[in-house]
Structure formats: structure tokens, C-alpha cells
Structure 1
Amino acid sequence: MLPLKEKDKPVVQKLLSAGCCARCVLRFCCVSVQAVYRKPHQETLKELQAFIGNTENGKSQDSVAADSTEENNKSHDATVPEPADEPADDPPSKRAKLELSGTEAPSEEDAAEEKLTEEPSVCVVCLGILQELCGTTQAVKIAEKVKAEKYEFETLVLSVSLPAQLCVREVSVCGVCV
């Protein structure tokens, strides 16, 4: 069971729909329990999906939110008078494009569910470093390579320097969640 609270649900939904891996979602939710990070990535992702509740409850809430958003847009559009003598060579209104893309775009929960069923993609925050590269299989491979070189010492400390660009990515994703 993940040590997440109800207030974390919208954050988890946004991060998963934005393309974050399960471990980055846990980092942004300030989960400091090491045992959670030791679990396989796919198992953690499934637990996050269960936490946000991609069942009928979540989908019905999305449909209610979409209906209220459509009503708000329609009421706003009704207050703005449209000029009747608009030239035919003008490009179509941007509002019309946004409304079209808004109705065709899948909800955040649907997008998160699709990401689970698709092939795993690279996390938009950590660029995959925390997805598969930090697992025990990767550590065993590195240890085997070091032992094959027959160094004098049998112990190994592995230190990874992350590019500064990852900090920029983290800050930009944090801005989306607010």
C-alpha cells in the first residue's frame, strides 16, 4: 500500500497524465518510505492506478466535470456577440479550435490508463533514469562488469551525476501541478 493521502489524488492524476513515471510521482508527493521505491516500477504504477481509482467513479466524475466545463464555455460564448459581416477570408476562430480539441481530447484518467496499457515510455521528468535503470537487475549487471575486470577491491560505490536539465524539468512539472 502506498503512503498517499486523498489530497494527493489530483496531483497523481496530473503527473501520470503528463507522462511521469511512478517513482517521479512518488517523489513529487513527498513519499520518503524507501521500501516503496524498491518495488518494481510496473507494480508501483499499478498501485498508483488503483489509488487514483480508474474505475467508474473516476470516469463519472470526469464526465460531470466535462459537462460543467462545456456549459461554462457555452454561457461565455453566448455573451460575446459575433459580428455578422465578417469577411470570409479570415482564419477560423481560435476558440473554435480549442473547443474542438477539448471535446476530442481524452480525460486525464483515460490518458493515464492508456499509458499503462501502451509500451512503457520515457518519463518526462527523469528521462527514464528512475524507471528501469535503478532496479536490482541493472545494479547486478554493473557489479558483474566490475568483477569481470578483476579489480583489486570487491566492493563498489556507484555515484551518478544527473544533468542540470533534470532540475529544470522538475520545476516545469511542478508548475503544472499547482
Structure 2
Amino acid sequence: MKKLIVLSSACGVGKSTIKEELNKKKLLENYACIDTDEVGINWWDYAGTENEAKFSDDCIAEAVRMSGEKNLLFVTCMNPYDFYGKVHIPSEIASTFFIGMTCSDDEITRRLKARPAERMCGSDEFITGQIQYNNWFKENAGKFQFYIDNTDLTIDETVEEIARFARRI
């Protein structure tokens, strides 16, 4: 049976960067760190169809498969309420933990504006939505098994904090 840690935040907070560093530094040898973007499932194949809700199920199932015998640290924008309310958790998962991660509104804006245009993340409307979502994480910080605001932390400090949490559970 596997443990599942879901690292969740709004776009621009640094989830993928943290996942890359965890993999590079090999701080969690017994975890596969996998991002939603890596599972090879395209949201636009589901959007607007009768199977739209199945996107998350398929992503988590594929990430569990990709993790092999290891536990899974899954990087996503999904929040715990959506996850538990809408997602089928594969039977291989024995326990699930959530890490909520935030940063400042200015930092999200800076990071999203810096992304390539093809990622479609730089519009004021998109950024406003992500800031609102980021604020939801801040307002619900106490509901996560682990919460971290990385505004004033380096990437290394954030990675170390997350790795420490994962090793404790």
C-alpha cells in the first residue's frame, strides 16, 4: 500500500519547480514526484465533454501507475475538497496527505507574466483567478496536513521543508 502526498497550489506558486528540485536532489528516495503535466493526459480532451470530471481520476490513476512501487508525491492545482469529493482514489493508496503551498500575489503575478505566451497564463483575467485561488489556500491553511508560504523562502528551503514533512509521515 502506498502513501499519497498531494502538493497543491495555484498556478505560479512554484509546484513544478519544487517537484523538479525534489527529483534532482533525491531527497525523497521512496517517493516518485510526479506533476499533473507529466502524466500525458490533456485537459482539453476532457473539457466540455460528458467525461470532464474523469480528467482528475485518469490523472491520479496514471500517476499511481507511473510511481511503480514507490509512494507518490503528486503535484497538482487540485484542492482537498475537490479531491475527496470528486476523485476516485486508486486502491493502491492507503493514506493521503495534502500540502498547501502559497506565495504573495506580487510573486504569482511576476511568475505568470514571465511564462511563455503558449502557456496562456499571462492575462490579467487568468492571474486574477489564480490570486483568488491562492487566497483560498491562505484562508484554509489550517486544514492542510502541511502548509507552506514560500514567499520569503528560497527554493532549497521550500524543498527541505516539504521533504521533512514527507519523511515524518
Give the TM-score, by structure 1 length: 0.28
Instruction: Report which of the two structures shows the higher radius of gyration computed on alpha carbons.
Output: 1
Which one has a larger percent helix, Structure 1 or Structure 2? 1
Which one has a larger percent strand, Structure 1 or Structure 2? 2
Give the TM-score, by structure 2 length: 0.29
